Amino acid sequence: MKIPQSLISSLQNIKGFNENAFVDTHENEASPIAVRINPFKKTDTFNHAESVIWSEYGKYLPDNYLATFDPLFHAGAYCFQEASSMYLAQILKSSVDLSQDLNVLDLCAGTGANSTLLASLLTPDSLLVSNDVLKVRANVLAENLTKWGTMNTIVTNNDPRDFTRLSGFFDVLLIDAPCSGSGLFRKDPNTIREWSVGNVTQHALRQKSIITDAWGSLKQGGVMIYSTSSYSKAENEDIVDWIEKQFGAQHLVASNEDKLGNEVISEGSYRFYPDQVKGEGFFITAFQKRNSEKEVFIRSGKPIKNNNRRTEREIFRNWVKNIDDHTWFGKNDDFFLINPLHEHIVQLIQLNFNLRKVGVSMGKLSSKDLIPEHELAMSLFLSEKINKVELSQQEAIKYLKREEFALEQAVKGWSLMTFEGFGLGWAKILPNRINNYYPKEQRILGKES
């Protein structure tokens, strides 16, 4: 691995940079593998693994760890996330009152590592909108948030400028910006070949454009968190200066008052170097918005009695716990479970955005019963009345591969397939066979080595 000399030269005057240690780490140490446990589906599997000291649920795993054939991964008991980027939780805790109900936008959500972290920290009545501009990534984002099991999430597939339609709506705006990727050189050596000073300049322009497009969606007093996986000052400290001047934002200056002690503070922001922390290169900082925006008018959501939908309610009662605390809506014969407090914003987003996920998709009604959707199997809202079948490791792998397997004792009808108590998906038990409803596009491919 040969670090570009132009990058090294550009870092010489940045606090915390140690050229010899920086180069040696990149050339001789592997990128650490880390996961973050789902607090809603806690597993003891990683109890003895080394903890990520700045993350309550972060754990380091062996370099050869493979989750493909681990049913707990498919159940949403944990997700992979680069260790340094888990510091987002500390930034949120220090800059936002997480005990309050918040509207949060993860603008450049990618495949969802940050979104699942946000979902873990927010109150049930908070709303998380996770967006990615690329349709393929947005679909994976929706799958990963489905695994996490929460209801208060919406996944969109829109350009950042589209969020001007939600003027002054969000309390928190996270922009984990597309960048030149130098902080991931160890994790993805291909980024070295793609890196150049010109590429850094182009990304800095794009970062400013994204921030400008999304700024209006943040309410007065709201917090914007900005991060990159880049070492370059042009994408980090220079962007901080630009935000302060362009928008009059208050930079929430970082300090060393917390228990971590090994992060590097650079001009009031956090810089992570792999020779100083067990993680990759990362930059993160926060701002508070001072100026006001004309807020989009959204009526206060109130629980709906659903008196005209008693038949639906009684059917759903067999599938969803505490159904009277929730509401739902139907679209193209599918029914979606949502928090009543979010009904009006869901209606607004339906009209103005490309939706990939909203609340929990319950399924379709047929002959006065529900044909359940996979999202319901993965959710935290399943009724205790639902039949469950606990699978062995071998049975779970066959189920996840959609291969045939037999069950000695099982109640006929719909059953939730589980592993160590966590839902994997649906199967319908018939007299002479098992119909596997695990999504074909998510099935395990290949063989265990």
Per-residue pLDDT tens digits for 362-385: 999 987 889 999 999 999 999 999
DSSP, residue by residue, 248-294:
-PEEE---S-SS----EEETTEEEE-TTTSSS--EEEEEEE--S---
Q: For 207-237, how does the pLDDT look when each residue is reduced to its tens digit (9 = 90+)?
A: 999 999 999 999 999 999 999 999 999 999 9
pLDDT given at position 308? 46
Domains of the chain: total? 3
pLDDT given at position 323? 95
24 & 148 share domain: yes
pLDDT given at position 197? 96
Q: Is the pLDDT of residue 261 over 90?
A: no
- To the question of whether residue 176 is assigned a binding role by annotation, the answer is yes
Is 167 buried (19+), middle (13-18) or exposed (0-12) by CB count in 10 A? Answer: middle
Element (H, E) at 113: helix 113-121
DSSP, residue by residue, 13-52:
TSTT--HHHHHHHHHH-PPPEEEEE-TTS--STTTTSPB-
Q: Are 242 and 208 contacting, i.e. CB atoms less than 8 angstroms apart?
A: yes
275 & 177 share domain: yes
User: b or e along 118-149 (b: 16 or more beta carbons within 10 Å of the residue's beta carbon)?
Assistant: bbbbbeeebbbbbbbbeeebbbbbbbbbbbbb
Element counts in the chain: helices (H) and strands (E): 13, 21
Q: Domain with 36 in it: what CATH number?
A: 3.40.50.150
Q: For 119-154, how does the pLDDT look when each residue is reduced to its tens digit (9 = 90+)?
A: 999 999 999 999 999 999 999 999 999 999 999 999
Q: For 53-74, how does the pLDDT look when each residue is reduced to its tens digit (9 = 90+)?
A: 999 999 999 988 889 999 999 9
Domain housing 375: 302-337+353-386
Provide the mean pLDDT of the chain.
92
126 & 178 share domain: yes
Q: Domain with 392 in it: what CATH number?
A: 3.10.450.720
Q: Is residue 345 part of a domain?
A: no
Element (H, E) at 365: strand 360-366
pLDDT given at position 433? 87
Beta-strand ranges (E) seen in 136-217 are 153-156, 170-176
264 & 399 share domain: no
CA angle 419, 422, 424 (to 5 degrees): 70
